[in-house]
Structure 1
């Protein structure tokens, strides 16, 4: 093992944090290092005021960054000492993290750490490759360790209901120009040098429907950017929902940590995720989903898991933009 150093652990955690997933790749966070402590802050200037007025998706994104930073710190030989929402007078302070006791990272932690920069979000169908039940069960156990629940939706009727809710939400949002304008704010044209948002190479111009169809965000709205979808990738994959018992800020952060654990573990097995949060952005549909499909728990993320042979680079903001 390499020589331990608190500074090295802090540097690794900050570098890793910027690779976390976020809604529309908004990367709504900033970091500040004071002594041997990192402050993870929510960047509310990057919040989606129409689709995420409460900041739920923003905090899920920050929770994903927190898990990423903790994993990097463990890989550097330290158990992270984390405080969630440590100061009620500073609501933008999501968490603080510092190197705690020394440890030897276990094999799974190192595997997760190795996927931080390799993990990618997918925005189309998947190849017709089945996922092992044992892998899905392992992903569910990992989510529970972070205080959330990952439930694969196995019943075909339930999958169709969830697809229909996604279609309904997409239809409603498509009729609301506010949603559409907010979405294309984060759509990047071909050749863009921006380091945030979704580049044209990372979304399809005209998605190929899956069966049942889980519609994609229309990042190509009104401009026709994007790539041609792979016709071989039309499988829905495994549909899953991340839920929590409560629905406050702590639960949203926990959902983000659980989500990133799932994504990194899945990535290590060649599995990617496609996200569908449209129905969760409309209160009536989210409540229906909670009561009818989630056993009363609060849905925080809807995703499809599957195998894709399409891997696109996604931009990340440089440290100079996010490190205070």
Structure 2
């Protein structure tokens, strides 16, 4: 059934936004609807108070939701009108979005919208099937359209980032408050919770990639995880860093929009992403990465891109729980 009114477009956008990616699947957003305008708000109660004290990862997550809203509105036949960070006195109000002039969605928009519910985060190695260079260049151009940059790392830099990730994971696993914060978002088998990382969404054992990229220990002291996730998955994939020229709240929001645009386009070509944020949660390591490998640009996300045949489990909260 076609969508014909702005109200229908708003409802479609809300349904789509809940599928956006977020750190540990915290889904740190809420929405307020006034007429045909959506207010995107940061749910600060879901911020990682130890791992993300400044709210950088929270705003990146919300930026991904913002791009999803934009895409759904455009798919519904309207041009989205966005006011980002509209009120300095209400810092949790991140954007106001409404359907604008009517427009026919192009093929690119239809393809992206079709991947919103299909896209999944991967948490292990990839198959050895290559990601085409032409697609990688296209994904980098896509990030640029949203005001960010996607840096594709050469082999020596990949080794360095893998080593930094392993070091950060070791240190963080010994930091009890930080580690317990991660475990809080791990879901045991059979859990009815609609947020966090389900037990079937990560490998039981450490991924065997070369070089090795450390994964979060969601199954800490538990026999959880997917034992089959390792089969044939040994490639680290294409290792990239999403960067921005600045490091303000506006930049973080833009990074999230760029991230989701890249992820949806990659998904349309059968390419998944695995994220590694440990290094970026430690200021001195993030500064090292910026100066030594990112040419002074601010790293916002480290992600590996590759091909997998695993269908990872995921959960999302219903729209009713997101409205405020």
Same fold flag (TM > 0.5): yes
- Please list the CA deviations of residues 15-43 of structure 1 after superposition, one character each: whole Å capped at 9, or x if unmatched: 11000000000000001100110000000
Is 228-237 or 278-287 further displaced after alignment?
A: 228-237
Shift of 1:266: 0.3
Counterpart position of 2:197: 198
- Which runs of 5 or more structure 2 residues have no equivalent in the other structure? none
Distance (whole Å) between structure 2 residues aligned to residue 252 and residue 66 of structure 1: 12
Partner of 2:28: 28
Tell me how far apart the structure 2 counterparts of residues 4 and 113 of structure 1 sit (CA, whole Å). Answer: 17
Post-superposition Cα deviations, 1:187-233, rounded to whole Å, max 9, x if no partner, equal: 00001010000000101111232100111111011112111132300
Tell me the number of residue pairs that the alignment of Structure 1 and Structure 2 aligns: 323
- Farther off after superposition, 217-226 or 261-270: 217-226
Q: TM-score if structure 1 supplies the norm length?
A: 0.98
Residue number in structure 2 paired with 1:299: 299
1:277 deviates by 0.6
| Structure 1 unaligned spans of 5+ | none
**Displacement over 3 Å in runs of 4+:** none
Describe the superposition over 1:53-106 as per-residue Cα deviations: whole angstroms up to 9, x where unpaired.
Answer: 000000000000000010000000111000000000100001000001111111
Q: Kindly report the root-mean-square deviation, in angstroms, between the aligned alpha carbons of the 2 structures.
A: 0.9
Say which SS state the counterpart of residue 294 (structure 2) adopts: coil
CA contact (8 A) 1:208 1:231 kept: no
Q: Residue 3 of structure 1: CA displacement?
A: 5.0
Q: What displacement does 1:179 show? A: 1.4
Q: Deviations over 1:149-190 (max 9, x none)?
A: 01111x211110010111111111011011110011000000
The answer on whether the counterparts of 1:28 and 1:62 sit within 8 Å (CA) in structure 2 is yes
Q: TM-score, normalised by structure 2?
A: 0.98
Could you tell me which residue of structure 1 aligns to residue 168 of structure 2?
169
What secondary structure sits across from 2:230 in the alignment? coil
**What is residue 310 of structure 2 aligned with on the other side?**
310
Q: Contact 1:124 / 1:274 at 8 angstroms: preserved in 2? A: yes
Distance 2:13 2:207 in 1: 38
Tell me what 2:216 maps to: 217
CA deviations on 1:257-276 (whole Å, 9 max, x unpaired) are 00000000000000000000
Change (3 A) 1:3 1:193: closer
- Equivalent pair of 1:209/1:215 in contact (CA under 8 Å): no
